[in-house]
Amino acid sequence: MAIFQKRSPDNPLAALQPPAPQRLPQPITPPSAPPQFLRATEVRTQIGADAVINGKLAFTTPTRVEGKLTGELHCSQLLIIGPTAVVEGRVKADELRIEGLVSGEVSETRKVEVFPRGKLTGKISAQLLVVRDGGFFEGECAVGPNSPVLGDEPRTGTTKED
């Protein structure tokens, strides 16, 4: 009698059944990389709305902030300040999208974009500044192609040799 796959020597069918396969541990394969078209803008790091952070943070992947942050924030790619976020201090990013509140200094940034209901107060140094309808900016700004960008070498005067 074979109940629950038990093999009995008295069962004439037991000899006809194949032996149970042995299970061997399989190596864990790493997850595949996301498609190339998603890599530039896909947010990989997120700080939730209930987070309160004081200090210095640095990210190398696209990041979204929804909580309250006081201090320094560096991102070598896209940085999104969400609608519930309040950031006070110094911000450096390749591209900065403001949907919440930013107060302080934004520097070494290629593009700063203030979305509707976004508010930016303080100093800006960027190559491009966009304030959309409903966005707010108050402060000093230095905008243009000669503004330093995160990752650029410091620009110094050049001399011409004859």
Give the DSSP per-residue string, the chain. Answer: --STT---TT-TTTTTSPPPPPP-PPPPPPPPPPPHHHHTT---EEE-TT-EEEEEEEESS-EEE-SEEEEEEEEEEEEEE-TT-EEEEEEEEEEEEESSEEEEEEEEEEEEEEPTT-EEEEEEEEEEEEE-TT-EEEEEEEESTTS--TTPPPP-------
How many whole angstroms separate alpha carbon 89 and alpha carbon 95? 17
Distance in Å from the first CA to the final CA of the chain: 102
What pLDDT was estimated at residue 28?
A: 75
What is the residue range of 78's domain? 41-143
| 30 in a structural domain | no
| 3 in a structural domain | no
What pLDDT was estimated at residue 13?
A: 65
Give yes or no for a contact between 79 and 95, defined as CB atoms under 8 angstroms apart: yes
What pLDDT was estimated at residue 126?
A: 94
What pLDDT was estimated at residue 25?
A: 76
| 119 in a structural domain | yes
Q: Is 159 helix (H, G, I), strand (E, B) or coil?
A: coil
| 120 in a structural domain | yes
Please report where in the chains the tokens 């924030």 appear, as a residue: 73
pLDDT category at 105 given cuts 50, 70, 90 is: very high
- What's the structural domain count of the chain? 1
Question: What are 115-159's pLDDT values in tens digits?
Answer: 999 999 999 999 999 999 999 999 999 998 887 776 655 444 444
| 1 in a structural domain | no
Question: What are 13-60's pLDDT values in tens digits?
Answer: 666 667 667 777 777 777 666 555 555 567 888 899 999 999 999 999
| 114 in a structural domain | yes
Res. 112: pLDDT tops 80: yes
Average pLDDT over residues 96-117: 95
What pLDDT was estimated at residue 150?
A: 64
| 118 in a structural domain | yes
Question: What are 57-82's pLDDT values in tens digits?
Answer: 999 989 999 999 999 999 999 999 99
